[in-house]
């Protein structure tokens, strides 16, 4: 197994990234550490923002302190010890406790890579701070995103920006692309990231509602005669399904762009293409499952099993050396 940082940090990375770790550890050596580090840095801020044991003001302050530290504007390591105690995922607790060790890895990279890491992380944390402000506004009922543009902006900030970063790292270290194709590959990279975030949103509706957050835009719910509080009632799934399917269709469109992204990568970049293929194929399978489930029922969370993930890994390994096989697998 490829080592990324050291055994301790790799263990935390694996424990927080789950199936995505399969992609991270197989990335080309030239960008493996940069992408993995950004993941850990972003997962740290995400864990802070989602901590159930903290008041919104405290979480905001912790996020802002963390942002100042990661951007190099402060030498004071944020004290996340108290927040670490509230984490049900042991690896997320360890991530918060080891924030200084994780952030110190930024300095091992070139100035250009450091700037890319910090720029992307700043966009992500900005989205998370907006999120905390939005959902701690004290409105009656369950706070919700208002309209589709807000949802798209959120998906860009916390995930689409990662697609940009991934692409920039690839162009800086792995291959070049014709200037006239740069805008397209970056746009496809952004939509790749948005696809994965939309899957998270559409799969985790009950868990988000429990945290007092509704990512289904209020205006869209209004147009379908529903409100955020209706999503607490699993018997309302059939009323919700037409709107839900619209968002699944949008997610499929983003996934189509992700497929185009992979097909723009040089065929010789086996590791890079394979690392991208895994989340796309797993994402497509997840969307397919979501279409037939009652996603408002918190007892019936949709999840791709480990055995299915292993099967996808085998298929990718077999297909990635061959253009035709790769294309067929991605377009199944």
pLDDT (tens digit, 9 = 90+) per residue, 165-209?
A: 999 999 999 999 999 999 999 999 999 999 999 999 999 999 999
pLDDT in tens, 126-140: 999 999 999 986 667
What share of the chain in percent tops pLDDT 70?
98
Please give the share of the chain, as a percent, with pLDDT higher than 90. Answer: 91
- String of DSSP letters for 155-222: HIIIIIHHHHHHHHHHHHHT----HHHHHHHHHHHHHHHHHHHHHHHHH-HHHHHHTT-B-S-HHHHH
- Same domain (yes/no): 154, 107: no
* 136, 160, 184 - which closes a domain: 136
Q: Is the pTM of this model over 0.85?
A: yes
**What's the CA gap between 54 and 60, in Å, rounded?**
10
The secondary element (H helix, E strand) that includes residue 81 is helix 81-84
Tell me, yes or no, whether 102 and 155 share the same domain. Answer: no
Alpha-carbon distance 301 to 206, whole Å?
9
* Mean per-residue pLDDT, 216-224: 98
pLDDT band at 3 (very low <50, low <70, confident <90, very high): confident
User: Could you tell me the CATH number of the domain that includes residue 180?
Assistant: 1.10.600.10
Among 115, 136, 157, the domain boundary falls at 136
Q: 89, 106, 136 — which closes off a domain?
A: 136
Which residue range is the domain that position 199 belongs to?
138-332
Structure-block tokens of residue 52: 């159930």
Question: How much is the pLDDT for 139?
Answer: 63
pLDDT in tens, 110-168: 999 999 999 999 999 999 999 999 998 666 789 999 999 999 999 999 999 999 999 99
- Give the count of alpha carbons within 13 A of 118, CB side only: 20
How far, CA to CA in Å, does 177 sit from each of 29, 39, 172, 266, 320? 20, 25, 11, 9, 20
Sign of the CA dihedral 301, 302, 303, 308? positive
Other Cβ atoms closer than 10 A to 25 = 18
Q: Is the pLDDT of residue 19 over 90?
A: no
pLDDT above 80 for 8: yes
């Amino acid at each position: 197994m490829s080592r990324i940082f050291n055994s301790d940090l790799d263990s935390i990375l694996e424990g927080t990234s789950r199936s995505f770790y399969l992609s991270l550890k197989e990335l080309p050596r030239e960008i493996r550490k940069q992408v993995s580090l950004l993941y850990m840095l972003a997962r740290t801020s995400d864990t802070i923002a989602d901590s159930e044991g903290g008041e919104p003001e405290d979480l905001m302050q912790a996020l802002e302190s963390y942002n100042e530290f990661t951007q190099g504007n402060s030498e004071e390591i944020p004290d996340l010890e108290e927040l670490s105690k509230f984490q049900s995922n042991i690896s997320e607790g360890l991530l918060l406790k080891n924030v200084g060790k994780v952030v110190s890895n930024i300095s091992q990279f070139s100035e250009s890579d450091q700037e890319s890491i910090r720029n992307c992380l700043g966009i992500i944390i900005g989205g998370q701070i907006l999120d905390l402000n939005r959902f701690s506004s004290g409105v009656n009922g369950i706070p919700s995103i208002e309209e589709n543009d807000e949802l798209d902006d959120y998906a860009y900030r916390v995930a689409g920006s990662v697609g940009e970063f991934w692409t920039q790292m690839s162009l800086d270290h792995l291959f070049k692309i014709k200037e006239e194709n740069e805008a397209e590959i970056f746009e496809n990279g952004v939509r790749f990231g948005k696809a994965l975030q939309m899957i998270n949103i559409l799969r985790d509706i009950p868990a988000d509602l429990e945290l007092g957050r509704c990512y289904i835009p209020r205006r869209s719910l209004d147009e379908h005669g529903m409100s955020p509080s209706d999503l607490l009632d699993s018997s309302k799934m059939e009323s919700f399904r037409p709107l839900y399917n619209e968002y699944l269709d949008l997610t499929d469109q983003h996934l189509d762009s992700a497929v185009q992204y992979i097909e723009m990568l040089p065929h010789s970049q086996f590791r890079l293409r394979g690392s991208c293929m895994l989340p796309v194929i797993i994402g497509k399978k997840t969307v397919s499952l979501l279409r037939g489930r009652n996603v408002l029922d918190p007892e019936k969370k949709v999840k791709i099993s480990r055995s299915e993930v292993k099967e996808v890994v085998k298929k990718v390994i077999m297909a990635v050396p061959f253009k035709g096989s790769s294309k067929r697998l991605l377009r199944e």
